[in-house]
Amino acid sequence: MNATTLPRLAVTAGEPAGVGPELLARLAASDLPADLVAITDRGLLERAAAICGLSLHILDDDGARLTQRAAGSIRVRHVPLGTTEHFGHPDPANARHVLDMLALAAEGCLDGSFDAVVTGPVQKASINEAGIPFSGHTEFFAERAGAEVVMMLASPELRVTLATTHLPLSAVPSAVTAPLLERTLRIVRDALVARFGIATPRIAVLGLNPHAGEGGHMGREELDTIIPLLERLRGEGMELLGPLPADTAFVPAMRERYDAVLAMYHDQALPVLKSEAFDRTVNVTLGLPFIRTSVDHGTALDLAGSGQADPASLFAATRLAIDLARRGALA
């Protein structure tokens, strides 16, 4: 990518029976300034466009970089379906199709064919029902790239990262160790510098317990683990706030003091973010050697095939991928 070419983005359609293909069709119809390459079955994209009442100009991807793209025009890397989709009803026969899309996008990012990948929602249960162990996009791309990663959920107003993700609440305290927190904070700090262009990132770290443990009266994880680690990393020059009580960390006066938040567990911070910016929140995988953004919602099987699904999250994910790719090209 150079100053005259558009960011070249691989966009995967996700679960064929979900809303992803329709969202991708609406993205293709937009005038967003990106060289969009759909990673999907060409016929599926055509059928999704018809459901949405869109007339798209779909071409085979020749690998050439574009300096402009007309609204309604998109190139496609054809990944054949295992079986014809039935909207609202995922079929494990299409599990390999979904994984092949992700593999093609990852390989293209790793070899420089794409500047970023934007992913549509997948149905993890359907892939596992096909006998293929699959825990999610994040883990798939991390394994492909041989990287340690961190999940970030970002809106225009707030960036939240997670020390632990999809764990039962009872398993969180034992999972929150000093090595985990150190690895996570280093990945977040490095990504804020390299991807977001923040020279000296300020990271707010939430406590695990109510009132950040209240001096040990509500739990000792802050005293025994979190505080000693933060003090050591501050000694290296990292700008870290906390541990902060989660119930006051998101008030406006506090937000002015940090660039991102590290939460200890999934539901500690994400309800705040999603309640105020659900349709503008983007899932970003930090730590990969390439840019990956995603919608922050599921396959919405109840809406699939209706043409009514809201594309706002996919548009937000694509805009952020464009911004990150351009920033990287200028760095």
Nearest to 18 by CA among 76, 79, 87: 87
What pLDDT score does 277 carry?
80
What pLDDT score does 81 carry?
98
What pLDDT score does 156 carry?
87
What pLDDT score does 119 carry?
98
Instruction: Name all domains of the chain by residue range, CATH numbers in brackets.
Output: 1-147+288-330 (3.40.718.10), 149-286 (3.40.718.10)
Adjacency order of strands within the sheet including 202-206: 57-60, 73-78, 35-40, 8-12, 116-119, 291-295, 282-286, 150-154, 159-162, 260-263, 202-206, 239-244
Can you tell me which residue has the tokens 């969180």? Answer: 172
- Show pLDDT as tens, one digit a residue, over the chain (331 residues): 776 899 999 999 999 999 999 999 999 999 999 999 999 999 999 999 999 999 999 999 999 999 999 999 999 999 999 999 999 999 999 999 999 999 999 999 999 999 999 999 999 999 999 999 998 899 999 999 999 999 999 998 899 999 998 889 999 999 999 999 999 999 999 999 999 999 999 999 999 999 998 899 999 999 999 999 999 999 999 999 999 999 999 999 999 999 999 999 999 998 998 888 877 899 999 999 999 999 988 999 999 999 999 999 999 999 999 999 998 865 5
What pLDDT score does 331 carry?
54
Q: Which residues make up each annotated binding site for a divalent metal cation?
A: 166, 211, 266
Pair type for strands 282-286 and 150-154: antiparallel
Q: Kind and range of the H or E element at 125? A: helix 124-129
Count CB-CB contacts under 10 A for residue 192: 22
In degrees and rounded to multiples of 5, residue 52 shows phi and psi of: -85, 0
Q: Is 12 helix (H, G, I), strand (E, B) or coil?
A: strand
Q: Which residues make up each annotated binding site?
A: 137-138, 166, 211, 266, 274, 283, 292
Q: Which residues make up each annotated binding site for substrate?
A: 137-138, 274, 283, 292
Nearest to 2 by CA among 331, 298, 329: 329
pTM across the whole model: 0.93
